[in-house]
Amino acid sequence: MLVDKYPKEIDRILAKFPPERKRAAALPLLYLAQREYGHVSKEAIREVAGILDVDPTQVGGLVGFYSLLHAKPGGKYRLQVCTDLPCALRGAEEFAEELCDNLRIKMGETTEDGLITVEEVKCLAGCDKAPMFQLQAPDGIHYFENQDLDSAMELIEELRQRGDDA
């Protein structure tokens, strides 16, 4: 249970908001749940709802709405390539396709070893440094810019080496 494992972190999150407006802590708590479980399961939704004193359906709606919250498990890392217009003008679509081919998956799929899910996402505010992607990792979200197939594969290899230590 999150409340047993992270009491201090939960208190710190709740302290940012007026006590009668606890629900404002929903997104930070959902991030905490996702970090803990890898995705936001129904059980995690119930836990967060319990902390906030709201109905689980109200919390569940958020998971469906916000693109960084995932109701279903994916790879350990989600490699999210921006293919929006400005990035596409600088070769992002070709980059994304090459990357998927190289990993022998289709867009949206996960590599056989469960390490990487490649996804297309909308503008990440890195348009001048395309092709670029963000890596949604267990410890947070990190940007990788001015990428090509070699640099991306190098990163993936590094993540693979890191194994369970990460």
Partner 1 sequence: MPEHILLRHRDIPEIADLDVYLKHDGFTAFEDVVKNQTPEQVIETVKTANLRGRGGAGFPAGVKWSFLTPGVFPRYVVANADESEPGTFKDREIMEGNPYQFLEGIAICSYAAQANTAYIYCRGEFWDLAHELEGKIEALTKRGLLGEGLFDTDYSLMIYVYLGAGAYICGEETALLSSMEGEIGHPRLRPPFPAAEGLFAKPTVINNVETLTNLPPIINQGADWYCSIGTEKSTGPKIFSLSGHVERPGNYELPFGTTFRELIFEHGGGIRDGKAIKGILPAGASAPLLPATDEVLDTPMDYESVPKVGSQLGSASIIVLDETVDIAWMAYKTTSFFKHESCGKCAPCREGTYWMYHILNRFQNGNAAPADIDLLNRVALGIQGKCFCALGEFSITPVVAGIEHFRSDFEALTGDGK
Q: Pick from 149, 117, 153, 148: which is nearest to 135 by CA?
A: 117
- List 3, 24, 112, 157, residue binding partner 1 (CB under 8 A): 24
Of 31 and 153, CB closest to partner 1: 31
CA distance 53 to 34: 19
Q: Is 115 in the site for partner 1 (CB under 8 A)?
A: no
- List 36, 38, 41, 84, residue binding partner 1 (CB under 8 A): 84
CA distance 13 to 80: 27
Q: At what angle do helices 26-37 and 42-52 cross, to 10 degrees?
A: 140
What's the sign of the alpha-carbon dihedral 73, 36, 68, 26?
Answer: positive
| Minimum CB–partner distance for residue 121 and partner 1 (Å) | 8
Q: Is 156 in the site for partner 1 (CB under 8 A)?
A: no
- List 57, 72, 140, 164, residue binding partner 1 (CB under 8 A): 140
Binding footprint of partner 1 on the chain (CB under 8 A): 16, 18, 21, 23-28, 30-31, 52, 54, 58, 61-62, 65-69, 84-86, 88-90, 122-130, 134, 140-143
